[in-house]
Structure 1
Amino acid sequence: MTAIDRGIDRAGLVAVVGTGTMGQGIAQVALAAGHPVRLYDAAPGRAAQAVDAIADRLGRLVDKERLSAADRDAALGRLAPVADLADLAEADLVVEAILEELGAKQQLFTALESVVSDGCLLATNTSSLSVTAVAGVLRRPGRLVGLHFFNPAPLMPLVEVVRGAATDEAAADRAHATVAAWGKTPVRCADTPGFIVNRIARPFYAEAFRAYEERAADPATLDAVLRESGGFRMGPFALTDLIGQDVNEAVTRSVWEALFHDPKFTPSLAQRQLVASGRLGRKTGHGWFDHSEGAGRPAPHTAEPCEPPGKVVVHGDLGPAQGLVGLMEEAGIAVTREPVGAHLALPDGTRLSLADGTTAAEDPFPASVRFDLALDYRTATRVALAASPAAPEESLRSAIGLFQALGKAVSVVQDIPGMVVARTVAMLVDFAEDAAARGVASPEDIDTAMLTGVNYPRGPLAWGRALGAHWVRDTLRNLHHACPTGRYAPSQALIRRAAADEGLL
């Protein structure tokens, strides 16, 4: 074996235990990096079946001209199933990808310790269990590290390299270097519930489900707003139907329970009911949406065309929405400015302001309409609006017409605190800031993980810097005032940074 900073030598034997989807994917990644690979599964015949499945996938890559036939044959020549753990004695790295049961993993690694050499690196692909607990039964727990690949492993670049409480720094460094040599994007993180991605991503699902429970809008509209205004690749309703409602809900529940029922991580009752009813998403034909043959996807609510205002008065600084001023001018709308305030005033008396965690109904000005946050108002194709119950119909129509004049589809949602994108992004930013402050991972690795692991349009910490610590803190404080359960209480890390007028990590 080579020096620690170079990881496992290319000629080093990699063993994968557990030959389900993840095990096969990890084996394929190691093969592509040039390693000899051995597959073991406790179920007789499963390892041989996995070899056949990998051969089929490599064959399809050859058919698509993404792999040469010679490279496929060479890879398959390095791949073999084994029938006994003792056949893994020469392994330089063993990656476990068996079922997510602590006892089963502990039993496996205890058995492996008596088989492999002292220099063999051990890794668990767990996504929800404590690496520290898995290693707790070992004689030498320092050599066990978490290597959390994302599905499908051959395609997804991110790997979370998890250091348990007893993991040696040298072992973590070696695992990190090995994964990097495999062409993946490794990020280091502490052994904490959910690691990086499954911890920080919870609000993306939870806030959309909460908005649905509050009857803000239907799933298709909420998904469209988060995609077309928030910039997310998929909406949370469609995404969890793809993942499986049972799988997604189990991750949420696991993190919530591991964090002693922290209200910030409370699972969704609506999602729990989906799981209880067997509506698990695409795999069962129904979830949030109907996936049965011939079923069409419901369209998001989109407002009918309305007459735009001819002029707008911009009061003060619009903060994250300041880019709207240039868009209005480009659209030929006459814009004048007043120094005080943080809103838009329309000729009919309508007052438009950015979602800030309060509702339009709380505004003392009756003709009040809120508009939601956007990743970039120039590129956003949809904006959500919510009107105060006291606002005249003409006020809402004027607001709709304004955003339509800017080239945006408009979805009208119910007047809930923080609307949709604003509350979701504020929570994501705070979760990321809190994780960085607690040493879960470095700020750079947190943003990298969220960009490459779940394809967010912007790393949450970079997003927070763009929005400003004050805006995020104040939005969450307003949400906390509306829902004083602790769910929206801003983290101490965020409060300190905003108070010191510092940027986010």
Structure 2
Amino acid sequence: MSTQDFKIETLGIVGSGAMGRGIAQIAALGGLSVRIYDTNPKALAAAREYLSDTFAKLIAKGKLKEADAHAALARIRDAGDTGELSDCDAIVEAIVENLDLKRELFRELEAVVGERCILASNTSSLSITAIAAGCAHPERVAGFHFFNPVPLMRVVEVIDGLRGDPRAGDALMDLARRMGHTPVRAKDMPGFIVNHAGRGMNTEGLRVASEGVASFAEIDRIMREQAGFRLGPFELLDLTALDVSHPVMESIYHQFYEEPRFKPSPITGTRLAGGLIGRKAGEGFYRYVDGKQDVPPEPAAPTELPTRVWISRASHEGREQVLKLIAKCDCSVHIDAGHTPEPDSLIIVTPLGFDATTAAVNEHLDATRVVAVDTLFPLDTVARRTIMTTPATSPEMRDAAHALLAFDGVPVSVIRDSTGFVAQRVVATIVNIGCDIAQQGIATPEDIDLAVMLGLGYPQGPLALGDTLGATTILTILRNICTALGDPRYRPSPWLTRRAQLGLSLTHTEELR
């Protein structure tokens, strides 16, 4: 292959499904000549009709000029066979996720394209190196992973295979920008960046649910309204659909040789087998009536406040948050300031990583009166608060704590005992996996955060989120969960541990020679 810089003006696309036609749309609007091929002529015709209708809708909404739409459509040409892709400078395959079929396609393309044509795969889960291994010129093979729907999800992962020429990736980075997308660069590892980082939310949310800590809807409410995410794990799984997301979870888990952090849940396997795959089927973790999510209503909060409250001193920051909230209550709640609680006091603990039971046992407290409050996100700024009980907590003390935390109208989730509540353990897992992606050198910290925000819609990337909450806080949560459960899925990443110990940002990179 020539050492000259790659230049892409004509783009070939193989596969005219949702991904292929989406790529064709942004490429044509970006000024490229597009050749689109599909083994099914009817699918090809349907794709052209879809593009025509899409452009017409964009014109009607004032988002696209009629002249620009006509020019873009004129730049898209159907290919009757792979031979008609011979003049392409790059070809993106968007066919089924099957390694043998992709290899066979690339071998076929190699026989007709020029020596400087880049062969790019839109795979979401297969190894680029493995796909390239079937080619005579693996150096020109790269990953070019878009997200569905392509025109709206404006991020694309550019993946370098082990034998890939970096200039091929460089050319795809430039191409992505010309098509109005933000490219991020990744090494060839399972899940690349986005699907790898996304394991934190989904697998940990499923783990929390499998332990009976809270319902699907309650976990989603906590992650949205307390932790600040746009969607909770089960809303997200319903949106992507289990027929897509469950195989990805299994694939990444096995490709990482059963890494405990990525262990799938039997919940999704069972629901997939039963056809409860998500929004597109009308039923998943939620039911959908006329396309709208049917969410079970929350019960009203109790109103009877406790007369006396004792707050643990194990966490100074947690105690101060609860005291500050009670001070705003403007009620007759008395603060029990003793070193040990009075016999009638509600006992509040604010553990990081531990469950309410462990907090009670560690401080020799009466577990029937103990209620834990999650203070990871400031109590006076969140749209939801979370409390959890020990298995021995009396209903009276549970309701008194609920009433106290809900005095100002902020909803309160009451969950069963859990190491790290819900938000703590899910957020800590998200940050930890992001740190491990950086530790493995799969992508730069900047690209990790950018990919996750654009690809998953998170309010912050995992490393920035860890910095916001405090690396030492995240490290404490993970270490305490590990201590309580002995589960290696919660072991802290070296990237997190070292930066927390040194007081460095999680985005800090070392300068190597």
TM-score scaled by length of structure 2? 0.89
Residue equivalent to 2:421: 419
2:472 to 470, 473, 490: 470
Q: Is the 8 A contact 2:307 2:345 kept in 1?
A: no
- Secondary structure of 1:405 counterpart: coil
Residue equivalent to 1:359: 355
2:177 to 180, 185, 194: 180
Distance 1:310 1:467, change over 3 A: farther
Deviations 1:5-51 (A, max 9, x none): 9x745xx1111111100000011010111111111012234323211
Structure 1 residue identity aligned to 2:214: A
2:79 to 78, 82, 89: 82
Deviations 1:38-65 (A, max 9, x none): 1101223432321121111111111212
Residue equivalent to 2:266: 269
Q: Is the 8 A contact 1:312 1:334 kept in 2?
A: no
Distance 1:176 1:376, change over 3 A: farther
- The more displaced of 300-309 and 59-68 is 300-309
- Secondary structure of 1:436 counterpart: helix
Q: Distance in 2 between matches of 1:89 and 1:470?
A: 56
- The more displaced of 417-426 and 116-125 is 116-125
Residue equivalent to 1:491: 493
Residue equivalent to 1:446: 448
Deviations 1:482-503 (A, max 9, x none): 3324222222332333344444
Q: Is the 8 A contact 2:308 2:345 kept in 1?
A: no
Q: Distance in 2 between matches of 1:485 and 1:75?
A: 54
2:56 to 56, 59, 63: 59
Distance 1:337 1:413, change over 3 A: closer
Distance 1:56 1:345, change over 3 A: farther
Matched, 1:390 2:392: yes
Q: Is the 8 A contact 1:318 1:354 kept in 2?
A: no
Q: Distance in 2 between matches of 1:486 and 1:105?
A: 36
Q: Is the 8 A contact 2:14 2:93 kept in 1?
A: yes
Distance 1:393 1:183, change over 3 A: same
Residue equivalent to 1:236: 233
2:345 to 334, 349, 363: 349
Distance 1:379 1:499, change over 3 A: closer
Distance 1:347 1:460, change over 3 A: farther
1:153 to 140, 150, 153: 150
Q: Aligned-pair distance for 1:312?
A: 7.1
Distance 1:145 1:348, change over 3 A: farther
Q: Distance in 2 between matches of 1:87 and 1:235?
A: 45
Distance 1:13 1:259, change over 3 A: same
Q: Aligned-pair distance for 1:402?
A: 2.8
Residue equivalent to 1:43: 40
Residue equivalent to 1:31: 28
Q: Distance in 1 between matches of 2:295 and 2:72?
A: 45
Deviations 1:114-167 (A, max 9, x none): 211122222110000001111112222111111110100001111111111111
- The more displaced of 428-437 and 381-390 is 381-390
Distance 1:246 1:345, change over 3 A: farther
Structure 1 residue identity aligned to 2:133: G
Matched, 1:109 2:111: no
Q: Distance in 1 between matches of 2:4 and 2:412?
A: 55
Q: Distance in 2 between matches of 1:292 and 1:20?
A: 27
Distance 1:73 1:373, change over 3 A: farther
Which blocks of at least 5 consecutive residues in structure 1 are unaligned? none
Structure 1 residue identity aligned to 2:345: G
Matched, 1:134 2:136: no
Q: Distance in 2 between matches of 1:276 and 1:148?
A: 28
Q: Distance in 1 between matches of 2:72 and 2:319?
A: 53
Which blocks of at least 5 consecutive residues in structure 2 are unaligned? 508-513
Q: Distance in 2 between matches of 1:295 and 1:50?
A: 28
Number of matched pairs: 498
Q: Distance in 1 between matches of 2:58 and 2:411?
A: 40
Residue equivalent to 2:461: 459
Distance 1:377 1:159, change over 3 A: farther
Q: Distance in 2 between matches of 1:118 and 1:68?
A: 37
Q: Distance in 2 between matches of 1:462 and 1:100?
A: 33
Structure 2 residue identity aligned to 1:40: Y
Distance 1:406 1:459, change over 3 A: farther
- The more displaced of 91-100 and 177-186 is 177-186
Q: Distance in 1 between matches of 2:64 and 2:55?
A: 8
Distance 1:56 1:168, change over 3 A: same
Q: Distance in 1 between matches of 2:30 and 2:319?
A: 46
Structure 2 residue identity aligned to 1:236: P
Distance 1:469 1:83, change over 3 A: same
Q: Distance in 2 between matches of 1:449 and 1:4?
A: 30
Structure 1 residue identity aligned to 2:217: A
- Secondary structure of 1:385 counterpart: strand
Q: Aligned-pair distance for 1:91?
A: 0.8
Q: Distance in 1 between matches of 2:384 and 2:336?
A: 27
Q: Aligned-pair distance for 1:420?
A: 0.8
Structure 1 residue identity aligned to 2:106: F
Q: Aligned-pair distance for 1:205?
A: 1.1
